[in-house]
């Protein structure tokens, strides 16, 4: 009888550990994604500050989620510091953009991609965000579908706008890096 009771207690203890381990893995993935997204936002601040502001706001919510779900996560202090630094950089970039616009110097300083290309890149960002959400929700097949659409959209944009895309166009580079990172995370989840 005592063996049965001890086995039951061990089974219950093990069952309690499984969600803790799963939560730790989810927190690690969330921290990695936040880190990658913050790096991408850092690139966009000077080129597209209004888009960077929206993206930074979204990452602020993700950071709050990480702080709530895993307040002792080792990456949290660094991520919070990076987030605060980006907020300061963004405020400076927005102030500089407003000042340049007031002086009539906002356009033409940085070679811009065609408007249709920028709209297409916004669609890529949406597809990647959906893939990321599906990945974190434990739906790798749906995430894979969104990533394939994002990759096809990037290829179509590059094919259509080719020479009109400025060399080293940061949003395109960031989208490609994020696509590669999400593909790696998808491969790891399978």
Q: 120 and 74, same structural domain? A: no
Lowest-confidence range among 33-42, 94-103, 171-180?
94-103
Q: Coil, helix or strand for 176?
A: helix
Q: 53 and 127, same structural domain? A: no
Q: 131 and 103, same structural domain? A: no
Q: 140 and 46, same structural domain? A: no
Q: How confident is the model at residue 20 (pLDDT cuts 50, 70, 90)?
A: very low
Most distant CA atoms of the chain, gap in Å: 85
pLDDT at position 102 is 55
SS3 percent helix, strand, coil of the chain, rounded to 5, is: 85, 0, 15
Nearest-CA neighbor of 134 among 122, 124, 119, 146? 146
CA distance linking residue 29 with residue 185, whole number of Å: 8
Q: How confident is the model at residue 45 (pLDDT cuts 50, 70, 90)?
A: confident
Tally of domains in the chain: 2
Q: 146 and 52, same structural domain? A: no
Q: Output 145 or 47, whichever has higher pLDDT.
A: 145
pLDDT tens digits, 105-120: 444 455 678 888 888 9
Domain limits at 70? 1-110
Q: How confident is the model at residue 23 (pLDDT cuts 50, 70, 90)?
A: very low
Lowest-confidence range among 21-25, 87-91, 100-104?
21-25
Q: 122 and 87, same structural domain? A: no
CA distance linking residue 169 with residue 98, whole number of Å: 22
pLDDT at position 109 is 54
Burial of 43 (0-12, 13-18, 19+ CB in 10 A): middle
Query: Does 13 have pLDDT greater than 70?
Result: no
CA distance linking residue 125 with residue 175, whole number of Å: 7
Q: Mean pLDDT score of the chain, rounded to an integer? A: 79
What secondary structure letter does DSSP report for 162? G
Q: Coil, helix or strand for 166?
A: coil
Q: 97 and 122, same structural domain? A: no
Lowest-confidence range among 18-22, 60-64, 83-87?
18-22
Lowest-confidence range among 34-43, 68-77, 104-113?
104-113
**Residues 106 and 100 sit within 8 Å (Cβ to Cβ):** yes
**Per-residue CA distances from 108 to 112, 127, 157 (Å):** 8, 29, 22
For 185, other C-beta atoms within 10 Å of its C-beta total 20
């Amino acid at each position: 009888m005592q063996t049965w009771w001890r086995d039951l207690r061990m089974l219950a203890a093990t069952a309690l550990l499984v969600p803790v381990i799963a939560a730790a893995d989810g927190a690690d993935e969330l921290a990695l994604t936040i880190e990658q997204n913050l790096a991408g936002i850092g690139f966009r601040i000077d080129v597209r500050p209004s888009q960077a502001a929206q993206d930074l706001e979204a990452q602020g919510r993700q950071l709050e989620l990480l702080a709530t779900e895993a307040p002792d996560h080792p990456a949290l202090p660094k991520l919070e510091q990076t987030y605060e630094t980006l907020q300061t950089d963004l405020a400076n970039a927005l102030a500089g953009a407003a000042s340049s616009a007031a002086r009539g110097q906002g356009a033409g300083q940085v070679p811009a991609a065609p408007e249709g290309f920028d709209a297409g890149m916004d669609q890529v960002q949406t597809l990647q965000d959906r893939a990321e959400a599906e990945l974190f929700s434990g739906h790798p097949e749906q995430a894979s579908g969104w990533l394939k659409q994002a990759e096809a959209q990037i290829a179509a944009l590059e094919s259509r706008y080719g020479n009109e895309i400025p060399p080293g166009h940061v949003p395109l580079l960031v989208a490609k890096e994020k696509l590669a990172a999400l593909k790696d995370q998808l491969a790891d989840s399978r």
